[in-house]
Amino acid sequence: MNNFHNREELVKFLGLSERYRPKHVCDTWRKVPSNWKERLEQLFEVYSGKIPPLFFRADDVGAWGQGLRALMKLFEYHNVPLAVAVVPAWLNAKRLEKIAENVDISSPLWTWHQHGWRHVNWSTDGKKAEFCRSRTREQQWTDIMKGKMKLEDLLGRHFVPVFTPPWNRLDLTTLEVLQRLDFKGVSLDGPFPRGAKHSIKLKNFRIALDMHTRKSVQKEFAFDEFMKDLEALFAQKGPVGIMIHHHRMNIQAFEILNLILKLIKEHSKSCCLSIKEVVQNERS
């Protein structure tokens, strides 16, 4: 596949302008070293043919906008699957209609799945979570069920019964509720809570790299930290996931993601997984 020859071509293709500025951008993408492209190419060359199976997950989806449009156009261009984590309370028929006007929601590239209910923090222990020990089983059941029913109603057969909890946190009660409600998987950035190994049969599509909500202790080394995390991801057996937040991506972040997708296609034997295909194959 021919890639874009320069930044201007990419920006034009994505439908953005050079003045595009999201409200929140992490330090990694505010200022990157001038040799970022060469460093990425060298890292992929080192691990060429040895990159583990990867998948991508895009969080906080609910309304159509410039960032989401650019992200989905980029994944379509590279023909790479994307797990789209939809916040049920944010989506309605009108918003879905707008999304459907711009992308084919039936495309096998997209895994439309559930991202909590309202993306509200109910935690009382300092770590943000929508589903946690601060909430009763009944409260969790009600919210997860409402979200599932709404997405099933709006998306129909395109909804995939996988659950991404906001802030990647849940408890054992959440897992038990999800299993009772016939979900087939969850996506976390860590292992299941203690006690879940034998009783929970859900598959964990585990995230290993956060691209856009990451935090750096020393801002001047933010890109170096990202490169270390990317190399650590390559050293895993897989499948491993990469988490995206489109509303926190500036043009530099899109430019780097574009190169990463291109290099994955060139250097990975297995390319990228579709969570939808994994779930469908295990159900058949």
226 has a pLDDT exceeding 70: yes
Residue-level pLDDT at 61: 98
pLDDT at 152 > cutoff 70: yes
Mean pLDDT of 258-264: 97
Residue 255 has pLDDT above 90, yes or no: yes
Q: pLDDT tens digit string along 28-46?
A: 999 999 999 999 999 999 9
92-142 confidence digits (pLDDT tens): 999 999 999 999 999 999 999 999 999 999 999 889 999 999 999 999 999
Q: What single string gives the DSSP state of each residue in 93-121?
A: HHHHHHHHHHS-TT-TTEEEEE--SS---
* Structural contact between residues 279 and 185, judged by C-beta atoms closer than 8 angstroms: yes
Q: Is 50-283 CATH 3.20.20.370?
A: yes
Domain parsing of the chain, residue ranges: 50-283
Mean pLDDT of 205-209: 97
Confidence at residue 195, expressed as pLDDT on a 0 to 100 scale? 81
Helix and strand totals (H; E) in the chain:
9, 8
Mean pLDDT of the chain: 95
pLDDT at res. 1: 54
pLDDT, residue 217, reads: 83
Share of the chain above pLDDT 70, in %: 99
**pLDDT value of position 2:** 62
Look at residues 184, 113, 98 and name the one whose alpha carbon lies nearest to residue 147: 113
